[in-house]
Amino acid sequence: MQDGLQYICTASVPLSQERGPLHIKRTPVLSFALLVQVSHIGRVATWFEEMYPKIRWDSQKAYLRRELAVSEARALRRALYRQWLFSLAFHTPEVTRTNRMNAASVANRCRLLRTWSTDELLELEDARLCLESLLASICPTNGQVFWNSGADTFLGPCQQLQRPRFYPFFYDAHAEATELETYSIPAAELRVQTMEGWGDDIDQYHILSSMLKLNPSQVMVLYENALCRRDVEVFVDEHGGGNWFWENGENLLHTWMLVLHGRGLPIHEVREKICSGLLGIAVDDEKYAIEANVPGFDISHYQSDVDFASAYSSGARFVIIKATEGTTYTDPSFSDHYEGATNAGFIRGGYHFAQPASSSGAAQANFFISNGGGWSSDGITLPGMLDLEYNPSGDDCYGLSTSELVSWISDFIETYNSAEGVYPLIYTSTSWWTECTGNSDAFGSKSPLVIARYSSSVGELPAGWSYYTIWQYSDSYTYGGDADTFNGDESQLQAIALG
């Protein structure tokens, strides 16, 4: 059997002391039941082989899409088998929110991952990100659902929803292919029209953390069958779910980070390279991968001590620094941050946190320009950035209607353009933009997009933009602040600074 598969087949009681350590290879007695189990696990892996290129090279990187080489397919299978084994062992009702971080539990999980090489651990994280992307499409945010609500949701008499049938074998890895229902329309296409939202981006983050406790077989079944939120909840409940499942995140990522940190690897840099295609299962041609992004980060006074020199040495080339908020607040760390970034050699710029309910867009644009948000064509200063996101202390959309917010944004960017000669960048998330502007397409031809999405892929963009300029993909950057990546090479980044 291929590496990892035999462990799944012999780990029916994975935490039992009688079984011994999980990584010890066992030779099971050959039987028909074993062959059935092996066949099912292999079919699941084959399904993921077909899905991986679509996930790994999404619409933003379609020009790189290709079939997996034999060695890459084998690496994907091995990573899936090991993720499956980890799920069987450590994502159980016995591993609760209160005990999962005690020393014995953490040591037990780390003991398993330490038996695998560093390259194999990188492949494991790549496979985990693949599962996360699939689950994100099954459990979309409210904004994503709203954005897709314009589709024709009428289903004709030949396209009636077929309820998924769930079987206990999906939990213990035994299955027959003939027992899977099929649709005249693929479930993934129907789901765009029928799936309810699961909250905002933060809610989705916690939901995905819980859902990642599912094994690859269960993720596959949900992707092929689930059409609405109730389908997902029933599936989880019927396969061992409950409060322990929804109130408890997955353990694999934390364990993976501990093991790699123990080996002296820079965790966030490694994950950035996996996302950009330089590490993992299918490695892109380095020329394309390097040209596709430039690392950077954004900061405010919450990051009082930023190591700019180390960040620059690690490859980061731009910093976006909070300058103002509303018409009365200036960030107390802006000057120090701006000077530190400049001295370290960064391309840098300021950002303004919008408070649309407090004053006009023009007033806030002028306040921003007067307090560090201006632009000059010196090649190292980015146009200012307008930060539009959920209201941290009230109504999501600041109590304004969609038309009022669109008018406010227009007032801000036009005032900025009149004063500085360039349009500011617009920072937002697809969910907020959809909810609060009605997914307006009025600004894509003017302001570059800085998209916020903490996931393995950018996902759907707000209306009006066919591509993003900067992607904020994590709220934890090694040297302080949020982690960003520029969608282009360094010369293109500097071109924006030059205007």
Catalytic residues: 298, 389
Whether residue 410 contacts residue 418, with contact meaning beta carbons closer than 8 Å, is answered with no
Give the residue carrying structure tokens 């801000």.
Answer: 412
Buried b (16+ CB within 10 A) or exposed e, 261-270: eeeeeeebbb
Q: How is residue 376 written in tokens?
A: 């000059």
Torsion of CA 403, 408, 412, 417, to 10 degrees: 30
CA-closest candidate to residue 462, choices 488, 483, 435:
435
Whether residue 449 contacts residue 461, with contact meaning beta carbons closer than 8 Å, is answered with yes
CA-closest candidate to residue 453, choices 470, 437, 434, 439:
470
Torsion of CA 327, 333, 336, 342, to 10 degrees: -70
Torsion of CA 204, 209, 215, 216, to 10 degrees: 50
Per residue, what are the HEC states of the chain? Answer: CCCCHHHHHCCCCCCCCCCCCCCCCCCCCCCHHHHHHHHHHHHHHHHHHHHHHHHHCCHHHHHHCCCCCHHHHHHHHHHHHHHHHHHHHHCCCCCCCCCCCCHHHHHHHHHHHCCCCHHHHHHHHHHHHHHHHHHHHHCCCHHHHHHHCCCCCCCCHHHCCCCCCCCCHHHHCCCCHHHCCCCCCCHHHHHHHHCCCCCCHHHHHHHHHHHCCCCHHHHHHHHHHCCCHHHHHHHHHHCCCCHHHHCCCCCHHHHHHHHHHHCCCCHHHHHHHHHHCCCCCCCCCHHHHHHHCEEEEEECCCCCCCCHHHHHHCCCCEEEEEEEECCCEECCCHHHHHHHHHHHCCEEEEEEECCCCCCCHHHHHHHHHHHHHCCCCCCCECCCEEECCCCCCCCCCCCCCHHHHHHHHHHHHHHHHHHHCCCCEEEECHHHHHHHHCCCCCCCCCCCEEEECCCCCCCCCCCCCCCCCEEEEECCCCCCCEEEEECCCHHHHHHHHHC
